[in-house]
Amino acid sequence: MPRRTAAPRPSRPGRRLGAVLLPLVVLLAAALAPAGRAPAQAPPVLNVYNWSDYIAPEVLQRFTEETGIRVRYDVYDSLETLEAKLSAGRSGYDVIVPTSEPTFARLIRAGALRPLDRARIPNLANLDPALMRRVERVDPGNRHGAIYLWGTTGLGMRPDRVRELAPDAPLDSFDLLMRPENARRLARCGIMVMDSATDVLPMVLRWLGRDPDSTEAADLRAAEQALMAIRPYLRAIPGSGAIMDALATGEVCLAMTYSGDVIQAAARARQAGRGVEIAYVAPREGAQLAFDMLAVPADAPNPEAAMAFIDFVLRPEMMAAITNHTRYPNAVPASRPLLAPEVRDDPNVYPPAEVLANSFVAGTPPPAAERLRTRLWSRFKAGR
């Protein structure tokens, strides 16, 4: 049955006049409204690009509570990923955390970083001068970056499984991984090497007794041959985050990766209570030392917020919270008394003087050598 509709009422002249006057009244009211009542603006946003699992979440929360600046936080797990993002330009990030060499050094040379506004970052004075001098060779005057965290590259392992399968292999040497006879025996319990030519190749060159910064074709061929000799025994060549997970769950028994990631994996394994024991070893041949820097891209959309964030992070209590969470040492000496004792007193977190003396900082290869290393790494990953 069709719906019946009422006949329209005839409009009255007054109703037509009201229809005309009402919009005029609204416009007049808007024009006379107080100027101070502008529409509320959205809160500012800080865009951070950092390593995965590399900050204490409460630090981000406290920064927003104190400043009103909301943090948009993205993560990566290799320097190659970070460089690719920054080299494309217009990354949209305000704060990044490149490793001092080679990424931070290359970004400075390319003019891709904004000098820090020291007047806005008074907490730069909290940084250890001796450690800051170690990164000054790539950043004269420490103009473009502040040390965030630092650490070494070495071996993470399950000592019980390693002793079971390779009882005569040295646990304190890079031989454990790089000797094919050892890698073959340990393949049963899982071996990984992180997907980073930047970190792996200098370590292999050092183990071979060559210059970690060598650009000689013969040295690079020797490093490639050494890596290819263990390639059949590797379960995977993933990012560092995946290695941390695999160690924590006991999926692998040996991995080359960052010290703090191994220490985090050990803490997770203990919390899980499944009897998985994880240890970190800085090889006696020498561990690679790396400094991760707080830096601001030249085209950062919100550089003022970036400077405020860096200043906030460099407070001793904030750096203590970050080191407690990540198990990576920081460069703010005043944070040490605030650290949890099990972190402050762990020699893997804060290496003893002899380990630091035996460590090395890899340099930044020239472009031609970098291309050779990139092709070498691609062949290694492909296994041919």
Q: 153-196, pLDDT tens digit by residue?
A: 999 999 999 999 999 999 999 999 999 999 999 999 999 999 99
Helix or strand or coil: residue 353?
Answer: helix
In a domain? residue 1 = no
Q: Is residue 99 in some structural domain?
A: yes
SS3 labels along 202-268: HHHHHHCCCCCCCCCHHHHHHHHHHHHHHHHHCCECCCHHHHHHHHHHCCCCEEEEEHHHHHHHHHH
pLDDT at 114: 97
* Residue 8 domain-assigned (yes or no): no
**DSSP, res 162:** H
Averaged pLDDT, 104-127: 95
pLDDT at 336: 97
Neighbours of 202 (CB within 10 A): 27
> Does residue 133 have a pLDDT over 50?
yes
Average pLDDT, the chain: 89
Q: Do 197 and 315 belong to one domain?
A: no
Domain hosting 233: range is 152-289+364-382
Domain co-membership, 222 together with 178: yes
Query: Taking phi first (over 0 means left), then psi (-120 to 50 degrees means alpha), and beta for anything else, what does residue 45 get?
Result: beta
In a domain, 305, yes or no: yes
Does residue 256 form part of some domain? Answer: yes
Q: What is the pTM of this model?
A: 0.79
In the predicted structure, residue 78 carries a pLDDT above the cut 50 = yes
Tell me how many domains the chain contains.
2
List beta partners, residue 292.
99, 149
The CATH number for 310's domain is 3.40.190.10
β-pairing verdict for 95-96 and 45-51: parallel
Are both 302 and 375 inside the same structural domain?
no
Coil, helix or strand at residue 114 = coil
Q: Are residues 270 and 213 in the same domain?
A: yes
| Maximum C-alpha span of the chain | 105
In a shared domain, residues 176 and 61: no
Each residue's pLDDT tens digit, 272-304: 999 999 999 999 999 999 999 999 999 999 999
| pLDDT score at 204 | 98
* Range with the poorest average pLDDT among 7-21, 193-207, 232-246: 7-21
- Whole-angstrom distance, CA of residue 230 vs CA of residue 381: 11
Q: Return the structure tokens found at 204.
A: 């292999």
Same-domain status, 214 and 143: no
Report the distance separating Cα 353 and Cα 359, nearest Å: 10
pLDDT of residue 11: 39
Residue 222 and residue 198 in one domain: yes
Question: Does residue 321 belong to any structural domain of this protein?
Answer: yes
Does residue 2 surpass a pLDDT of 60?
A: no
Same domain, 222 and 311: no
- Contact between 254 and 175 under an 8 Å Cβ cutoff? The reply is no
pLDDT higher than 60, residue 20: no
Number of Cβ within a 10 Å radius of residue 90: 9
Indicate whether 43 pLDDT > 70: yes
**Is 304 domain-assigned?**
yes
Do 235 and 319 have their domain in common? no
Task: Please indicate whether residue 30 or residue 123 has the higher confidence score (pLDDT).
Answer: 123
CB 367: neighbour CB atoms within 10 A?
8
Domain for residue 223, yes or no?
Answer: yes
* 163 and 236 housed in the same domain: yes
Query: Within this chain, do residues 121 and 196 fall inside the same structural domain, yes or no?
Result: no
Most confident residue range from 26-40, 54-68, 89-103: 54-68
Are 337 and 281 part of one and the same domain? no
